[in-house]
Amino acid sequence: MASHSLSFFRVLLLLFLTTLSERIKGQGVGINYGQIANNLPSPARVAVLLRSLNITRVKLYDADPNVLFSFSNSQVDFMIGLGNEYLQNMSTDPTKAQAWLQQRLEPHISKTRITSIVVGNEIFKTNDHVLIGNLLPAMKSVYAALTNLGLEKQVAVTSAHSLDILQTSYPPSSGSFKEEFIQYLEPLLDFHSQIKSPFLINAYPFFAYKDSPKEVPLEYVLFEPNPGMVDPNTNLHYDNMLFAQVDALYSAIKTLGHTDVEVRISETGWPSKGDENEIGHVSGSGVEGGEVNLAKEGQLTITEKGGDLDVAGL
């Protein structure tokens, strides 16, 4: 997701998802903490802000020691990121993973609640089959290193994926993966099943609306009242696209033989400002003040304006 399209904080719903077509079963709301921008507040100031908003989950795109130190002795759970640039070395040399953990994880884990390591981000979207092939070996190296440190039950190993991995998403019950990725996804899902870690997805209904604004009702992607759609195979009714997208992913996972891998949303959101071709940003819709109603069941309203995250009505 382009950093200029969404503001400094992007909404992260870390939801324990069973079947989203029936009901959200959430374990909390958090944010993606990105740092590619100008005039950012210091990590210490961010820590104070998030505490005031009762945000209890944060996903970093790296393992910034300044951020992790600033959240020492807090009640915030962290997912830290291991960038794509590390995958090749770690896939072939497990000692690289051990060294990374000793440098980035060990100095902080006694005081900062680090619950997951996200190995790579949207690897399949690169279409680089060498890099894609490095993902699972790198994840295994990180897991082995955690095991050596006695942390494998405390810190989960996972990766975040784009919905571009799906070949079919409609209807949700017919969800399937792109054929060229199945050779990589089958053993990846086997590994998730083995270590009981979640499969992360970056789900942006905005992109579907942006690509087909005449076919996709704005209300359907903004959790506003709308007729929704009924899956003809299951008769399940969907009143928003996000739930349908996640159920499509569950269906795709099931086609590869797994009903034991949990899906969690690692990124979602809606821009309050965007590029010229990004119609449908919130200030141009009927939602006043850039507010995005992301989880109506929980009465959660997120407002993103110029780097601020306002949470109301939790």
> pLDDT tens digits, residue range 283-292?
434 332 223 3
pLDDT averaged over every residue in the chain = 81
Query: Average pLDDT for residues 59-67, to the nearest whole number?
Result: 95
Between residues 141 and 275, which one has the greater pLDDT? 141
Question: So what's the pLDDT on residue 276?
Answer: 63
CATH number of the domain enclosing 177: 3.20.20.80
Q: Is the pLDDT of residue 130 over 80?
A: yes
How many domains would you assign to the chain?
Answer: 1
Percent residues over pLDDT 90 in the chain:
60
What pLDDT band is residue 278 in, cutting at 50, 70 and 90? Answer: low
Determine, yes or no, domain membership for 278.
yes
Q: Is the pLDDT of residue 105 over 90?
A: yes
Query: Average pLDDT for residues 124-137, to the nearest whole number?
Result: 96
261 neighbors 193 (Cβ within 8 angstroms): yes
Q: Is the pLDDT of residue 5 over 80?
A: no
Lowest-confidence segment of 94-108, 123-137, 221-235 by average pLDDT: 221-235
Whole-angstrom CA distances from 246 to 50, 90, 102, 145, 189 are 27, 30, 35, 31, 16
| Residue whose pair of structure tokens reads 């299951």 in the numeric block | 234
Determine, yes or no, domain membership for 4.
no
Determine, yes or no, domain membership for 295.
yes
Catalytic residues: 122, 267
Determine, yes or no, domain membership for 137.
yes
Residue 18 domain boundaries: 9-312
Q: Is the pLDDT of residue 125 over 80?
A: yes
What pLDDT band is residue 300 in, cutting at 50, 70 and 90? Answer: very low
Separation of alpha carbons 164 and 141, rounded Å: 26
Determine, yes or no, domain membership for 2.
no
Determine, yes or no, domain membership for 1.
no
Q: Is the pLDDT of residue 231 over 50?
A: yes
Between residues 279 and 134, which one has the greater pLDDT? 134
Query: Average pLDDT for residues 124-139, to the nearest whole number?
Result: 96
Whole-angstrom CA distances from 257 to 189, 197, 251 are 9, 16, 10
| SS3 (DSSP) at 50 | helix
Determine, yes or no, domain membership for 131.
yes
